[in-house]
Amino acid sequence: MTFQALLVSKDDDAAAVLTPVLSGSGVGVQSCGYPDALVRLTEQKFDAVIVDYDDPHSAALVLQNATQHSSGNSAVTVALLSDKTRVRNVFGAGANFVLYKPITESQAQASLRSATALIKRERRRGFRVAVQVPVQLRLHNGAQNGEPNGPEVEGILLDLSEDGMDLLSAQPLCPAAAISARFALPDGGGDFDIRGEVCWANPNGQSGIRFVDLPDNLHTSLHAWVTSNAQELPPEEPDPVSECKLTDLSLGGCYVETASPFPERSGITLGLKVADIEVEAEGMVRVMHPEFGMGIEFASATPAQRAQVARFIEFLTSQPGTMPELLITPRALAADDSYVNSGQPQEMEDPLLELLRHHESLSQEEFLQQLRQQRNSEEVASQ
């Protein structure tokens, strides 16, 4: 399966570096100027949009249109930037990744490794199979304990993916509404009772639903059904990023040095291994420093999972200099705040997590300075 990227730049040197790197990862490249890009975004679907910030106003307009015209799986956005002091502004304008100019081949390969992994993951998440079966919806309407207490609504399932579905309901749904959905797939595909959130909704009753808290067994069943009923196979799962160094770790999060960081607010799965201890944790990237590293907040965890992380930290503390194996795999380009550990006990102090959550006002140098200060304070306290 070939992916498509739109490269919006007048810089021939940058295009000469990026095009072969992307092509080597199975991503075809179309190049154009700023005005032509706005037209192409309305006419074609792109998996990635790469825009040069030599013209900041035009670049911001392209990023805005790339987001507006993205439906189903989202386009991964990359900004080419000469002025590093503008990186926070560029992220705020909608860029997922930043490549600093002038761009070298090794830099492009490292930075685009994570971008390509997310392109594959987003295409996989958006890979849908048409199916028309009845679906019974129940609205939550602010229910206690997450139990549905709203009216029942009849609908028809239109298409299905591993992570969501499109449907047509007897009455319009409200965006961001929490729902429960029951349906049975044909040909022995099984019965499903799934919680979800309305991502978008039209007045005619057509809506897009994102599944929430999907159990592993249901995800496996959906994956099997989608794969066996698809006219073409969905993209393969992306390979994890392995060139990572864990520098800071707490019960609530961690900081990882890597030339291939994932975007802020992206959902990831992090695998840690040292000796006979293995920890797998899901999380959200809270802060991303291009070409250097990222800070990750762990997703909501059970007491058993927190105990596992605590045991991992205790082992690393008792074995100075031990470097754990680390693998990071993308789960979604955008994760919402309900995904992460917002319910962490208030009495649990976690300076690292607080730094990750309040990084917006800090430059990369200021953030890393505070990170080093925390590290030194912990070393003094442990002596």
Mean pLDDT rounded to a whole number for the chain: 85
Burial class (CB in 10 A: 0-12, 13-18, 19+), 87: buried
Q: Final residue of a domain: which of 89, 108, 125?
A: 125
pLDDT tens for each residue of 205-264: 999 898 887 887 888 888 888 888 877 766 677 778 888 999 999 888 899 999 999 999
Looking at the fold, whether 17 and 44 belong to one and the same domain comes out as yes
In the chain, the number of structural domains is: 3
What is the model's pLDDT at position 144? 47
Q: At what angle are helices 105-125 and 12-24 packed, to 10 degrees? A: 50
pLDDT tens for each residue of 314-366: 888 888 778 888 999 998 888 766 556 544 545 568 899 999 999 998 999 99
pLDDT grade for 142, boundaries at 50, 70 and 90: low
Q: Final residue of a domain: which of 99, 125, 151?
A: 125
Which one has a higher pLDDT value, 253 or 305?
A: 253
Q: Final residue of a domain: which of 125, 160, 194?
A: 125
**Distance spanning both ends of the chain, measured CA to CA:** 55
Looking at the fold, whether 209 and 253 belong to one and the same domain comes out as no
Q: What is the CATH number of the domain that holds 200?
A: 2.40.10.220
Report yes or no on 237 lying in a domain: no
Helix/strand/coil (H/E/C) assignment for every residue in 370-381? HHHHHHHHHHHH
Looking at the fold, whether 113 and 204 belong to one and the same domain comes out as no
Sign of CA dihedral 78, 79, 81, 83: negative
CA distance 125 to 122: 5
Q: What is the CATH number of the domain that holds 280?
A: 2.40.10
Looking at the fold, whether 264 and 362 belong to one and the same domain comes out as yes
pLDDT tens for each residue of 30-89: 999 999 999 999 888 899 999 999 999 999 999 988 877 544 457 899 999 999 999 999
Looking at the fold, whether 377 and 265 belong to one and the same domain comes out as yes
Looking at the fold, whether 169 and 62 belong to one and the same domain comes out as no
Looking at the fold, whether 75 and 148 belong to one and the same domain comes out as no
Q: Domain residues for 342?
A: 245-382
Looking at the fold, whether 180 and 304 belong to one and the same domain comes out as no
Lowest mean pLDDT segment, chosen from 29-33, 200-204, 234-238, 287-291: 234-238
Looking at the fold, whether 150 and 189 belong to one and the same domain comes out as yes
